């Protein structure tokens, strides 16, 4: 029997700034799902990439007096660095300036065009360069984009190509009706359904090249380049080598996507309509996460409260940062990051509970020369599987931590250090059996830590170095965020 396959991607972030903690959350969530599916035996592809075209990036590159491609290359490598920093099990990565991706975007365009879904018309619109989206008056707040209040809304007036989004209203509603879990959480599905029901307007999918050259050339029309979203969304299949329909694409598509709440429309309506137009299968599912605030406030450069995932990992280590993102941030809702909470969680959950548990057990076992038996069978139980399938990462970690606490308590109650080696042998073996199951379940979340534990308790147990060394507090710790 062929192995079950699973394909997951994040969104492709714009390369106009360093990776921020919100994208770190998204890609760590996707990594947990990729690792979980591998653990239950699926063949997994996990893709991400960088979105490098459009007006915003073009202007940033000009501002920095850099060639746009060189500018993108520098930022793109920062995103690629996340792989190592966050210990991600990604298998595919593509830049939207890659030749292969641009060819895929052009092929998708041709198919939509052939299907009669791309046409030319004169148009005038209000446009937010920050979002790279058209804005209607009802979407503006006193004439400003609510997400980018510092930017001036621009007027675009030119003859462009349009995509017949309106044609797909019925089919999109049908898609949502046929797959009630197409978008998770369900209130996001309600949100997109209401948006599509309210009526869809065709949108512009090209820009005049002489005004904005930084895009994928429109096939057979040298005067136009593609609108950045139309090009970027194709990355979900260009990462799999599409339009070559024989390779990874044939094995892995359709797949699921993880995206932020600001991406709901693009992922669950626009991209799906584009796939329909090109005659390709729709995505299987879209999981939408929220935003992270910084100690209760929106992160912004001017407030100086932007949290840098690289700095965080440098201070606390990869698994501690993964743990915070997966346990402290409600998976589908907004959450908060603060250094105070990070320190608390690190000290209590990681250093005191998990770290201490492993350290006391392995210390005793080394002294007693304990050897564990290798044939304990491990599986992920059905309840945990269900929680994975509903993306409740924080609840799974809560369950695992209940076991860790129970094991610590059992050790305190039995007080093995007061017993003779003979008296405590069976007890320790039982503890290692539970610890092995805990570590097995922790693999998708804390891959490095669980690997260390599983290795040290295999066969003759050796004392382990502290998994989460205590933080050395500065004399007067001041928390600014
Ligand atoms: Zn905006």
Q: DSSP letters of 140-173?
A: -BTTB-SS-TTSPPEEEEEEEEEE-GGGGHHHHH
Has residue 387 got a pLDDT over 60? Answer: yes
Residues 140 and 224 in one domain: yes
Assigned domain for 77 exists = yes
Task: Report the chain's terminal Cα–Cα distance, integer Å.
Answer: 53
Return the CA Rg of the chain: 25
Give the mean model confidence (pLDDT) for residues 267-281. Answer: 98
Beta-sheet pairing, 118-128 with 206-208: unpaired
| Residue 272, domain CATH | 3.40.50.620
Region 208-225: mean pLDDT is: 95
Residue 155 counted as domain residue: yes
CATH of the domain at 344: 1.10.730.10
pLDDT band at 238 (very low <50, low <70, confident <90, very high): very high
Statement to judge: residues 278 and 135 lie in one domain: yes
Domain assignment of residue 464, yes or no: no
Domain co-membership, 55 together with 119: yes
Nearest to 163 by CA among 224, 197, 115: 115
Residues near ligand 1 ion, CB 5 Å cutoff: 128, 130-131, 145, 147-148
Ligand 1 centroid to Cα of residue 141, in Å, is 11
Using CA atoms, how far apart are residues 275 and 269, in angstroms rounded to an integer?
10
- Assign 214 to helix, strand or coil: coil
Question: Separation of 128 CA from ligand 1 center, angstroms?
Answer: 5
Q: Are residues 130 and 275 in the same domain?
A: yes
- How many structural domains is the chain composed of? 2
Q: How far, in Å, is the centroid of ligand 1 from the Cα of 129?
A: 6
The answer to whether the CB of 15 falls within 8 A of the CB of 48 is no
Residues 208 and 84 in one domain: yes
Examine residue 17 and state whether it is found in any structural domain, yes or no: yes
Q: In angstroms, what is the span from residue 153 Cα to ligand 1's centroid?
A: 8
User: CB under 8 Å to 196, separation ≥6 — which residues?
Assistant: 169, 172, 173, 176, 269
Q: Judge whether 478 lies within some domain.
A: no
Continuous H helices in 266-389: 271-277, 309-316, 318-327, 339-345, 356-368, 382-389
β-pairing, 118-128 with 133-135?
antiparallel
Q: Mean pLDDT across the stretch 408-416?
A: 97
Question: Do 219 and 365 sit in the same domain of this protein?
Answer: no
CA of 152 to the centre of ligand 1 (A): 9
Residue 82 lies in a domain: yes
303 belongs to a structural domain = no
For residue 309, give the nearest of 472, 468, 78, 89 by alpha carbon.
Answer: 78
Element (H, E) at 444: none
Shared domain check, 203 and 100: yes
Residues 180, 189: contact at Cβ < 8 Å? yes
Mean pLDDT in residue range 50-77: 93
**In the structure, what pLDDT confidence band is assigned to residue 59 with cuts at 50, 70 and 90?**
very high
Q: What percent of the chain has pLDDT over 90?
A: 87
What average pLDDT does the segment 152-175 reach? 96
Helices H, strands E: what count in the chain?
19, 14
Give the list of residues 6+ apart from residue 311 with CB closer than 8 angstroms, or none. Answer: none
Per the CB < 8 A criterion, the answer to whether 67 and 29 are in contact is no
Do 280 and 412 lie in a common domain?
A: no
47 and 110 together in one domain? yes
**Global pTM?**
0.94
* pLDDT > 60? residue 475: no
pLDDT in tens, 98-156: 999 999 999 999 999 999 999 999 989 999 999 999 898 999 999 999 989 999 999 98
Segment 337-357, tens digit of pLDDT? 999 999 999 999 999 999 999
Considering the domain architecture, whether residues 251 and 348 belong to the same structural domain is answered as: no
241 neighbors 45 (Cβ within 8 angstroms) = no
Measure the CA–CA gap between 197 and 275, rounded to whole angstroms: 19
Give yes or no: residues 396 and 263 share one domain. Answer: no
Band of residue 194 on the pLDDT scale cut at 50, 70, 90: very high
Q: Among residues 269, 137, 123, 102, which one has the least CA distance to residue 205?
A: 123
CB atoms within 10 A of CB 199: 8
Spacing, Cα 133 to ligand 1 middle (Å): 7
Domain extent, residue 92, equals 5-290
Using CA atoms, how far apart are residues 135 and 155, in angstroms rounded to an integer? 10
Q: 173: CA distance to ligand 1 center in Å? A: 27
Indicate if the pLDDT at residue 474 is higher than 60: no
- Is a pLDDT exceeding 60 seen at residue 175? yes
Beta bridge partners of 51: 14
Per-residue burial over 148-162, b if 16 or more Cβ lie within 10 Å, else e, is eeeeebeebebebbb
Q: What is the H or E stretch that residue 428 is in?
A: helix 421-442
Q: Is residue 444 part of a domain?
A: yes
Residue 373's pLDDT is 77
pLDDT score recorded for residue 481: 67
Expressed in angstroms and rounded, the spacing between residue 431 Cα and the centre of ligand 1 is 54
Residues 435 and 348 in one domain: yes
Q: Look at 209-213, 221-225, 257-261, 470-474 and tell me which has the smallest mean pLDDT.
A: 470-474
- 289 has a pLDDT exceeding 80: yes
CB within 8 A of 407, min separation 6: which ones?
357, 431, 434, 435, 438
pLDDT of residue 473: 66
Residues 372-411 as b or e (16 or more Cβ within 10 Å = b) = beeeeeeebeeebeebbeebbbbbbbeebbeebeebbeeb
Q: Average model confidence (pLDDT) for the chain?
A: 94
């Amino acid at each position: 029997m062929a192995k079950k396959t699973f394909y997951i991607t994040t969104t492709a972030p714009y390369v106009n700034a360093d990776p921020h903690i919100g994208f770190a959350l998204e890609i760590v969530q996707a990594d947990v799902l990729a690792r979980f599916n591998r653990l239950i035996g699926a063949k997994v592809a996990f893709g991400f990439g960088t979105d490098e075209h459009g007006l915003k990036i073009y202007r940033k590159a000009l501002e920095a007096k850099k060639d746009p491609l060189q500018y993108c290359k520098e930022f793109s490598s920062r995103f690629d660095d996340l792989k190592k920093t966050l210990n991600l099990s990604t298998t595919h990565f593509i830049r939207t300036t890659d030749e292969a991706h641009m060819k895929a975007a052009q092929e998708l365009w041709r198919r939509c065009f052939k299907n009669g879904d791309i046409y030319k018309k004169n148009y005038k619109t209000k446009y937010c360069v920050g979002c790279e989206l058209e804005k209607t008056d009802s979407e503006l707040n006193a004439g400003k984009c609510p997400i980018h209040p510092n930017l001036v809304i621009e007027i675009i007036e030119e003859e462009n190509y349009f995509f017949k989004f309106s044609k797909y209203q019925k089919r999109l509603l049908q898609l949502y009706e046929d797959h009630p879990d197409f978008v998770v959480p369900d209130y996001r599905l309600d949100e997109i359904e209401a948006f599509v029901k309210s009526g869809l307007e065709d949108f512009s999918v090209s820009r005049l090249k002489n005004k904005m050259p930084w895009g994928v050339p429109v096939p057979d029309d040298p005067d136009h380049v593609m609108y950045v979203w139309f090009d970027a969304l194709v990355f979900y299949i260009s990462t799999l080598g599409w339009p070559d329909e024989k390779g990874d694409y044939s094995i892995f598509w359709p797949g699921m996507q993880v995206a932020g709440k600001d991406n709901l429309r693009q992922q669950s309506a626009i991209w799906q309509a584009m796939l329909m137009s090109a005659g390709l299968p729709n995505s299987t599912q879209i999981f939408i996460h929220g935003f992270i605030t910084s100690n209760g406030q929106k992160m912004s450069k001017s407030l100086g409260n932007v949290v840098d995932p690289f700095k965080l990992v440098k201070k606390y280590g990869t698994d501690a940062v993964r743990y915070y993102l997966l346990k402290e941030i409600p998976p589908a809702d907004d959450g908060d990051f603060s250094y105070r909470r990070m320190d608390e969680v690190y000290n209590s959950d990681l250093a005191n509970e998990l770290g201490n548990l492993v350290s006391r057990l392995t210390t005793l076992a080394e002294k007693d020369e304990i050897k564990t038996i290798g044939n304990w069978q491990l599986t992920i139980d059905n309840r945990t599987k269900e929680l994975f399938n509903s993306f409740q990462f924080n609840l799974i970690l809560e369950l695992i931590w209940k076991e860790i606490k129970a094991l610590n308590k059992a050790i305190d109650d039995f007080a093995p250090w007061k017993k003779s080696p003979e008296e405590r042998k069976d007890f320790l073996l039982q503890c290692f059996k539970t610890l092995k199951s805990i570590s097995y379940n922790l693999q998708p979340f804390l891959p490095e830590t669980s690997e260390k534990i599983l290795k040290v308790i295999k066969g003759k147990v050796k004392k382990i170095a502290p998994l989460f060394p205590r933080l050395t507090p500065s004399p007067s710790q001041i928390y600014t965020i």
